[in-house]
Chains A and B, each alone.
Chain A
Amino acid sequence: EVQLVQSGAEVKKPGESLKISCKGSGYTFTSYWIGWVRQMPGKGLEWMGVIYPGDSDTRYSPSFQGQVTISADKSISTAYLQWSSLKASDTAMYYCARLGGDFLSPDLDYWGQGTLVTVSS
């Protein structure tokens, strides 16, 4: 069974750093892209970027380029999303999702349970 298990909720202060995780199981982790999706409180879904754990090829949505860093450790089947200096506007639920289906243009077939990040002074 494909599973993506994310790290727990975080409460941080502005300016702090943070790294959240997404551990995949039940499939070959290195053979599928993993993407990240943001959902701000009461708002819609936003595409952040994606990583291919097999070779760490990483692509960002222009809206998130330079704002976050996506990485992966294939030895432990885990992808990461990190911030070097959080802002209050980073408060949101963050989902990881596997991209599957079409080889050239996959979509989001399995999702993690989400990690709530709250940034407040």
Chain B
Amino acid sequence: DIQMTQSPSAMSASVGDRVTITCRASQGISNYLAWFQQKPGKVPKRLIYAASSLQSGVPSRFSGTGSGTEFTLTISSLQPEDFATYYCLQHNSFPQLTFGGGTKVEIK
């Protein structure tokens, strides 16, 4: 099974900060990685697919990079509506998908 290690598990940041979240795969997954945002009580929303492609309608301050085993989600300038929990998802080993443990981004 492919394990996804996401870091940090939680962080505090201020509006305007640059935020970086990392996911590491236990083995190579090419670019089969997506990033999701989940706000409390809401459905997860896909932000990035294929590691670096921005989902339609998602602000350009979100970006994704990486391939193989290391991936990064960056928020270039954190906005109030970005405080949420973020998850990575590997789908290289479909039909066995794996989520990362999540990163909670809180207000400093």
**Complex-state Cα separation, A95 to B92, whole angstroms:** 21
Chain A 16-47, CB-CB to B under 8 Å as 1, else 0, gives: 00000000000000000101010000001111
Pick the residue among A45, A47, A101 that contacts B44 (CB under 8 A). A45
Structural contact, A109 and B46, CB atoms closer than 8 A: yes
In the complex, are the beta carbons of A107 and B89 less than 8 A apart? yes
Check B96–A61 contact: CB distance below 8 A: yes
Q: Does B64 contact A (CB under 8 A)?
A: no
| Interchain CA distance A99-B46 in the complex, whole Å | 12
- B43 x A114 contact (CB < 8 A): yes
Q: Collect the chain A residues with CB atoms within 8 Å of residue B32's CB.
A: 102, 105, 107
A109 touches B43 (CB 8 A): no
Q: Is A80 an interface residue (CB 8 A)?
A: no
- Given A45-B44, A114-B43, the answer on whether A105 and B94 have CB atoms closer than 8 Å is yes
Interface centre among A46, A47, A104 (most CB of B within 10 A): A47
- With known contacts A46-B99, A62-B1, A101-B50, A111–B94 Cβ distance under 8 A: no
Residues from chain B with Cβ under 8 Å of A112 in the complex: 43
Q: Does A106 reach chain B (CB closer than 8 Å)? A: yes
* Chain B residues with CB under 8 A of A111: 43-45
Q: Give the chain B neighbours of A35 by CB distance below 8 A.
A: 97
Report whether B92 and A47 are in contact in the complex, using a CB–CB cutoff of 8 Å: no
Would you call B87 and A44 a contact (CB within 8 A)? yes
Residues of A contacting B89 with CB < 8 Å? Answer: 45, 107-108
Residue of A nearest to B91 (CB): A107
Q: What chain B residues lie within 8 Å of A47 (beta carbons)?
A: 96-99
Task: Looking at the assembled complex, report how far the CB atom of A65 sits from the nearest CB atom of chain B, in whole angstroms.
Answer: 11
- Contacting pair B98 A44 (CB below 8 A): no
**Given A50-B95, A106-B94, do A44 and B101 touch, yes or no (CB 8 Å)?**
yes
Binding site for B on A (CB under 8 A): 33, 35, 37, 44-47, 49-50, 59, 61-62, 95, 99, 101-102, 104-109, 111-114
A/B interface sample: 17 pairs, CB < 8 A = A45-B87, A45-B99, A59-B96, A61-B96, A99-B91, A102-B91, A104-B94, A105-B94, A107-B49, A107-B89, A107-B91, A108-B34, A108-B36, A108-B44, A108-B46, A108-B89, A113-B43
